[in-house]
């Protein structure tokens, strides 16, 4: 019989010095109970607090822990990509560092993977400890992108998921710079399964996603997976032209019937401002896409690595890779 495929737990951490010491013991207990070789890969996404020191301490007393440190904060999507790029064998399970995704569900995910699913993802039943605004905006976002995207993106699903080897290989081929991971996972396809779960509050520390970050994230998601807003600009233009035509006919009729006592300054002013607004909106929409196109063509690496420490259990028999690997 083939040896069981290994599993890597991937965790991106940015300023999580308080949460990591609470999370790791829970992970450890879960890994001890698994029927296969497993390791944890922590990616320090350029933290400014003691996250890296905390991670080094964790790695010191657990030989299954590998560490990757990026040269600065590149954002969660890039940090996850950096980690995924280091996983060359077996499957991966992605988890948040703050304990919101319970590690105790890992065996359930693994069981579904063994049944033949390639992408087992957690779907949030509710979000404890998050304000009404975040809940409402997340709810709205998943519905909007669900309408607009040609790739069906599962609702209320975060990055908490297990990906099989072939899903990972598929994902590795998507090197776009605008990385909306939830969409990329969905694009890969294969056999997907949603596992409903209760999302817990953060164990410690605070959320890294404030209003503006979430807003920009939503724009990135929509523009990466849909060109519908560009079409909206076309329809907006058509609708305005039609309205202008109707208004023109109305004005001519009015003038013929009742003459024209040279009025119409307010109408003119309103029309100019209205048309200017419509044009600026359309330009803005084009600009959103153009800006992203600009970022894509520059072909910068997605991240830079400052330090790579494979798990002690592995490095005994494998050669250390150079520390400045990129892309
Ligand atoms: N994270 C990261 N880089 C960032 C921001 C966040 O690696 O620039 C990590 C963070 O440490 C956590 C996960 O992404 O493990 C989710 O972040 P957070 O809990 O702040 O988001 P929320 O759950 O509030 O949406
Ligand atoms: Mg969180």
Q: How many structural domains is the chain composed of?
A: 2
Q: What angle do CA 301, 310, 204 make, to 5 degrees?
A: 80
Kindly state whether residue 106 falls inside one of the protein's structural domains: yes
Kindly state whether residue 211 falls inside one of the protein's structural domains: yes
Q: How far apart are CA 201 and CA 312, in angstroms?
A: 32
pLDDT score, position 146: 84
CA-based R_g, the chain, Å: 25
Whether 160 is in the pocket of ligand 1, judged by its Cβ within 6 Å, is no
In the 8-state DSSP scheme, what is residue 220?
H
pLDDT category at 288 given cuts 50, 70, 90 is confident
- Ligand 1 atom nearest 100 alpha carbon: 23
Q: Which domain holds residue 268?
A: 228-298
Both 173 and 321 in one domain: the answer is: yes
Give the number of whichever ligand sits closest to the CA of residue 217. 1
Both 292 and 195 in one domain: the answer is: no
Please give the span between the terminal C-alpha atoms of the chain, in angstroms, as a whole number.
36
Kindly state whether residue 24 falls inside one of the protein's structural domains: yes
Kindly state whether residue 92 falls inside one of the protein's structural domains: yes
Q: Which two tokens stand for residue 74?
A: 């590149």
Kindly state whether residue 2 falls inside one of the protein's structural domains: no
Whether 16 is in the pocket of ligand 1, judged by its Cβ within 6 Å, is yes
Kindly state whether residue 220 falls inside one of the protein's structural domains: yes
Both 109 and 166 in one domain: the answer is: yes
Q: How far apart are CA 199 and CA 158, in angstroms?
A: 10
Domain at 83, CATH number: 3.90.550.10
Give pLDDT tens digits for 192-220: 999 998 888 888 778 877 778 888 888 88
Both 102 and 60 in one domain: the answer is: yes
- Ligand 1 atom nearest 73 alpha carbon: 8
Whether 168 is in the pocket of ligand 1, judged by its Cβ within 6 Å, is no
Share of the chain above pLDDT 70, in %: 94
Both 64 and 138 in one domain: the answer is: yes
pLDDT score, position 110: 95
Both 240 and 274 in one domain: the answer is: yes
pLDDT score, position 166: 94
Kindly state whether residue 239 falls inside one of the protein's structural domains: yes
Give pLDDT tens digits for 25-62: 999 999 998 888 999 999 999 999 999 999 999 999 99
Give the number of whichever ligand sits closest to the CA of residue 100. 2
Both 24 and 138 in one domain: the answer is: yes
pLDDT score, position 320: 45
Both 258 and 311 in one domain: the answer is: no
Both 257 and 108 in one domain: the answer is: no
- Ligand 1 atom nearest 12 alpha carbon: 7
Task: Tell whether the model's pLDDT for residue 280 goes beyond 80.
Answer: yes
Whether 12 is in the pocket of ligand 1, judged by its Cβ within 6 Å, is yes
Report strand pairing: 192-199 vs 119-127: parallel
Q: How far apart are CA 246 and CA 202, in angstroms?
A: 56
Task: Tell whether the model's pLDDT for residue 318 goes beyond 70.
Answer: no
Q: How far apart are CA 68 and CA 86, in angstroms?
A: 9
Kindly state whether residue 1 falls inside one of the protein's structural domains: no
CB 296 within 8 A of CB 48: no
Both 113 and 252 in one domain: the answer is: no
Both 289 and 221 in one domain: the answer is: no
Mean pLDDT, rounded, for 144-159: 84
Whether 80 is in the pocket of ligand 1, judged by its Cβ within 6 Å, is no
- Supply the DSSP string of 289-300, one letter for each residue: HHHHHHHHHHT-
Handedness of CA 194, 132, 151, 103 (dihedral sign): negative
- Ligand 1 atom nearest 14 alpha carbon: 11
Q: Which two tokens stand for residue 320?
A: 């250390």
Both 106 and 199 in one domain: the answer is: yes
Mean pLDDT, rounded, for 118-127: 86
């Amino acid at each position: 019989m083939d040896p069981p495929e290994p599993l890597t737990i991937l965790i991106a951490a940015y300023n999580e010095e308080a949460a990591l010491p609470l999370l790791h013991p829970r992970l450890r207990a879960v890994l001890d109970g698994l029927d296969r070789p497993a390791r944890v890969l922590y990616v320090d996404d350029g933290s400014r607090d003691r996250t890296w020191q905390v991670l080094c301490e964790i790695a010191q007393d657990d030989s299954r822990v590998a560490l990757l440190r990026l040269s600065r904060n590149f954002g969660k999507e890039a940090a996850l990509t950096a980690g995924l790029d280091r996983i060359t064998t077996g499957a991966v399970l992605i988890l948040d560092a703050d304990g919101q995704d319970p590690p105790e569900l890992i065996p359930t995910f693994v069981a579904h993977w063994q049944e033949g699913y390639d992408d087992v993802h957690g779907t949030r039943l509710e979000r404890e400890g998050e304000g009404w605004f975040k809940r409402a905006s997340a709810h709205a976002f998943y519905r909007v992108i669900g309408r607009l995207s040609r790739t069906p993106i599962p609702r209320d699903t975060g990055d908490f998921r297990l990906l099989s080897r072939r899903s990972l290989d598929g994902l590795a081929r998507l090197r776009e710079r605008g990385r909306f991971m939830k969409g990329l996972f969905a694009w890969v396809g294969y056999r997907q399964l949603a596992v409903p779960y209760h999302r817990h509050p953060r164990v410690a520390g605070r959320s890294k996603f404030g209003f503006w970050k979430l807003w920009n994230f939503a724009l990135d998601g929509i523009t990466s997976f849909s060109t519908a807003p560009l079409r909206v600009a076309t329809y907006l233009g058509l609708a305005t032209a039609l309205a202008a035509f109707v208004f023109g006919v109305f004005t001519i009729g009015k003038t013929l019937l009742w003459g024209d006592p040279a009025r119409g300054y307010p109408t003119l002013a309103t029309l100019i401002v209205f048309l200017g607004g419509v044009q600026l909106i359309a330009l803005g929409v084009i600009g959103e896409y153009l800006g992203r196109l600009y970022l894509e063509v520059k072909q910068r690496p997605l991240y830079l690595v400052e330090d790579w420490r494979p798990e002690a259990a592995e490095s005994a028999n494998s050669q250390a890779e150079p520390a400045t690997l990129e892309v």
